[in-house]
Amino acid sequence: MPHLHIAEFNEIEFPSQLEGVYFNFIAQNINHKEEKLISVKVDKDEFFLLVKNEDGKSLLKSDKLTRPASIFNVHKALLSYAKLSNMTALSSNVPQNQKNVHLEKVTALKDINYFATNFPKNKNIRIEVGFGSGRHLLHQAINNPDTMFIGIEIHHPSIEQVLKQITIKNIENLLILNYDARLFMELVPSNIVEKIYVHFPVPWDKKPHRRVISTSFIEEARRVLNLGGTLELRTDSENYYAYSYETFIAFNKTTLHINKNRDIAVTSKYEDRWKKMEKNIYDLTMINDEESKELNLEGGFEFSKVNISSDDILKFHKETQKFESGFIHFERTYMLKDGVMIRLSMGSFDKPEHLYVIVKGERAFYYPALPLKSKSNLLAHQFLDRIFHG
């Protein structure tokens, strides 16, 4: 992760701007005085920089929760703040040079709001969850030019590697998203996806609730797949294969194809290594046999009047409140110049969304972006609105 180690943190006046980087406000963590968040806007990206004071030194980096997909905008924000505040960097891993020439004109990288408001429907759709090096995803996109591919990944170096290849090879039927695939599935329209690839997901043997394959993920896959569409799991983990089989077969009606050590057209470098080690590879393919109802998500994320005080809101720190199908956890609290801010996790238990809410007097709003418009998030918002309304 890009960062600057600095001898001493210098606070600037807010708002300020330098060379197209806008610094909007600063938030002080109430329970951890060594932590601050700086609101930044670069181009269309709005996010936080995180300041942490440790052992007499300060660390300036991007906030993991709001970090944009464009790593270059993070670099620009870090360097601009250091320059504007006259801070001395003790060490840095932020490059001073310009963007990689192959990434300057990238249009394939989209944010979640693009898919929420403008989901592509004019072509056959295939989705790959966790594309890693992108070998399989790029191969499929190149060899199926009439199909629109959506690659989902949370590892930034993998994203940049694939974006570079998209530019070099002039691939026009591939979109990239940096997001939780389990949440993304909730906004995909029904009956429009031809294939979903889940190749070599992290097994999460010690944290099974983090696995991609789950009852809720399969339910969403069945909804978004067209008639005859497939969800294809490929794994080297016997535990993950066994767990997935049990999860699939628990449905009242399902069609599964199982293969062991099946050859496919393109493999990852890890799969090549596993084959040399004579490690087994398992394929489990679900075929969708039914059409689903159209997706209907009603409601929004506006708050009604806030009737409780800022002091009462700050007391929610570390508190968890549950409702019938989900929860809200108040992770951290921050003081602003003219209000308070809360970091939340909310939604369903197995795939919560993490975000910030700002409260200024009787007004509350999400920042820097709204939650994903999903069933679980809409229900969680309604619950939170009732808490604030008193």
Residue 71 domain flag: yes
Pairwise CA distance, residues 293 & 295, whole Å: 6
Name the domain count of the chain: 3
Q: What pLDDT band is residue 78 in, cutting at 50, 70 and 90?
A: very high
Least confident interval from 132-141, 229-238, 257-266, 330-339: 257-266
pLDDT at 101: 57
pLDDT at 121: 82
Q: Are residues 259 and 370 in the same domain?
A: no
Residue 379 domain flag: yes
Q: Are residues 59 and 178 in the same domain?
A: no
Residue 81 domain flag: yes
Q: What pLDDT band is residue 103 in, cutting at 50, 70 and 90?
A: low
Domain with 210, as residue range(s), is: 109-287
Residue 302 domain flag: no
Q: Are residues 152 and 281 in the same domain?
A: yes
- Can you give the pTM of this predicted structure? 0.80
Q: Are residues 146 and 211 in the same domain?
A: yes
**Chain segment 159-191, per-residue pLDDT in tens:** 989 999 999 999 999 999 998 999 899 889 999
Pairwise CA distance, residues 151 & 69, whole Å: 13
Residue 104 domain flag: no
Q: What percent of the chain has pLDDT over 90?
A: 66
pLDDT at 63: 94
Q: What's the CATH number where 172 sits?
A: 3.40.50.150
Contact 112, 177 (CB under 8 A): yes
